Amino acid sequence: MADTKREIERKYEATPRTGLPDLTRAAGVAAVTDEGVTELDAVYYDTPDLRLAAGALTLRRRTGGADAGWHLKFPVAPGVRDEIRAPLSDTLPRDLAGLLRSRVRDAEVVPVVRLRSERDVRHLLDGDGTLLAELSVDTVHAERLTGEGSAAWTEIEVELADDADPAVLDAVEKRLRKADIRPAGAASKLARALDETGGGPGTPPAPARTGTAGAAVLTYVRAQVDAIVLHDPAVRRDLPDAVHQLRVACRRLRSAFKTYRRVLDREVTDPLGEELKWLAGELGVARDQEVLDARLRARVTELPRTLVLGPVRARLRRRDAAHGKRARRQALAALDSDRYLALLTALDALLTDPPFREDADHDAPAVLARAVRKDHDRLADRVGHALSLDPGHERDLALHEARKAAKRARYAAEAARPTLGKPAKRLGKKVKAVQSLLGEHQDAVVAREAVRELGVQAHGVGESAFTWGLLYGHEEAAAAAAERALPELWAAASAPELTAALTR
């Protein structure tokens, strides 16, 4: 089973003649110990067109050292990566292969670079002998396995120890800079090896039709496709908010296809929209369950102890565990399906050969402003209809439809913001407030039904249903409060000057 380590490190240029300064003069460092030299041999894998390198991912099989095995690294921030490790084996472990699926698809992963390094290691310790960081002077020999290139260099690497204060890296860098040792130009050994042995991944072609509606919409679409690919492995790793972010990317993309039908041909985008709806739905089971569970737990926590009668928390825990496991299995099954891979392939094809319509060649501001106004008008119709109904089931349904329209109008403004600037930002902010309020209403409606079901279950086995009835009343009040607040909030979001400003 793979495990994860957060890697925080900095790299510096060096030569075989570079001498290290006295690092005990770095703040917090009391001693430096010599840990000897280790021989490392790593083979880096990628697709023939270097898809992993293009995303700043590295996959290697390394022998030598204390952590021999398979290592897959995901970028987190500059100088910070999550390293996922699996035991040494002859073939790529299944766990790691799954994390690469959204990028690799059906392509073969092959050896591309071999790095052999002599690692001269020193430990930086504090006054108590606790490890602060590991400094290594690496003499590297790189060989391109998909060509004939080779390279050699020396570099210094300083890696923060687990739970150590990142300030120690600043202190060490200060001493290194005083010794005229500068940060490395490449982000990783692999990136440098690729550059010096035949070149790294190619850069995407510059967008055509600069300044046109087609270019603006395609830029937004590409960002959402990239987000799906990016968040896929995070969902598989069960990282916080990952399901939500992947689902949002699906929704934004589907919304863009609907909003900008005069830019992208719907004969191509409508089928893709249906597949995105399917994927968001499969992921939504997990996300909706997370939101509902958190809401119900918070409601129970807010109650005085004297009002929590019976095994309320235990019943919630059992419900959370059972529903959570089923939802996660469903989400992972979707990501492992051929249907999902086909969707990613079709999205790539759209980006490669966009199905532009006539409006794609027109100036972006006019086309995008018209589309945003149209979605805003659609939202106005939905809100007006909902507010015309009496409170009850039909109004609940109408408010839910208005919420979906608000989300689409917000995404339309978001996509247009790089083109339309502050007016689109202001409109999006106002519409988001409406969407959030309608989201609170829908959450209360869903929670109310869940609480009723839990109360029925409790009553059926002889438990007190008092607390569940109390929670039902709280959710009913929350929904009613959202309905009362909607007219004023909508008045602010529907001011005529907001949409008029889009074309100024």
Region 229-237: mean pLDDT is: 95
Q: pLDDT, tens digit, for every residue of 291-341?
A: 888 899 999 999 999 999 999 999 888 887 777 778 888 999 999 999 999
Cα gap 119→197, rounded to integer Å: 21
168 and 160 in contact (C-beta within 8 Å)? yes
The crossing angle, in degrees rounded to 10, of helices 466-493 and 364-388 is 130
Q: pLDDT, tens digit, for every residue of 466-493?
A: 999 999 999 999 999 999 999 999 999 9
Cα gap 365→260, rounded to integer Å: 13
Residue 138: φ, ψ to 5°:
-105, 125
- pLDDT score, position 31: 96
Give how far Cα 16 sits from Cα of 19, 58, 118, 137, 180, Å: 8, 26, 12, 9, 15
Cα gap 104→55, rounded to integer Å: 11
161 and 9 in contact (C-beta within 8 Å)? no
First to last CA, the chain: 58
Quickly list DSSP for 424-442.
Answer: HHHHHHHHHHHHHHHHHHH
33 and 120 in contact (C-beta within 8 Å)? no
Q: How many C-beta atoms lie closer than 10 Å to residue 101's C-beta?
A: 18
Region 236-243: mean pLDDT is: 91
Cα gap 132→160, rounded to integer Å: 6
Q: pLDDT, tens digit, for every residue of 40-64?
A: 999 999 999 999 999 999 999 999 9
Region 441-456: mean pLDDT is: 94
pLDDT confidence band for 208 (50 / 70 / 90): low
pTM confidence score? 0.88
Instruction: Considering the chain, tell me which residue range(s) the CATH 2.40.320.10 domain(s) occupy.
Output: 3-196
Instruction: Considering the chain, tell me which residue range(s) the CATH 1.40.20.10 domain(s) occupy.
Output: 213-503
Q: Is a pLDDT exceeding 90 seen at residue 386?
A: yes
In sequence order, the 6+-apart residues with CB closer than 8 A to the CB of 11 are 155, 156, 157, 158, 183, 184, 186, 187, 188
Q: How many C-beta atoms lie closer than 10 Å to residue 173's C-beta?
A: 17
Indicate the helix (H) or strand (E) that contains 483: helix 466-493
**Which residue, 151, 161, 118, 153, is CA-closest to 136?**
118
pLDDT confidence band for 157 (50 / 70 / 90): very high
241 and 213 in contact (C-beta within 8 Å)? no
- pLDDT score, position 504: 62
In sequence order, the 6+-apart residues with CB closer than 8 A to the CB of 407 are 251, 255, 435
- In eight-state DSSP terms, residue 96 is H
In sequence order, the 6+-apart residues with CB closer than 8 A to the CB of 78 are 187
Average pLDDT along the chain: 93
**Which residue, 406, 470, 399, is CA-closest to 441?**
399
- pLDDT score, position 182: 95
Q: What length does the chain have?
A: 504
- pLDDT score, position 1: 47
CATH of domain 3-196: 2.40.320.10
Q: How many C-beta atoms lie closer than 10 Å to residue 127's C-beta?
A: 9
438 and 486 in contact (C-beta within 8 Å)? yes
Give how far Cα 145 sits from Cα of 43, 91, 113, 194, Å: 9, 17, 5, 10
Q: pLDDT, tens digit, for every residue of 90-140?
A: 999 999 999 999 999 989 999 999 999 999 999 999 999 999 999 999 999
pLDDT cut 70: percent of the chain above it: 98
In words, the CATH class of domain 213-503 is mainly alpha
3-state secondary structure 105-165: CCCCCEEEEEEEEEEEEEEEECCCCCEEEEEEEEEEEEEECCCCCEEEEEEEEEEECCCCC
What residues does 124 pair with on adjacent strands? 32, 133
Q: pLDDT, tens digit, for every residue of 267-303?
A: 999 999 999 999 999 998 777 877 888 899 999 999 9
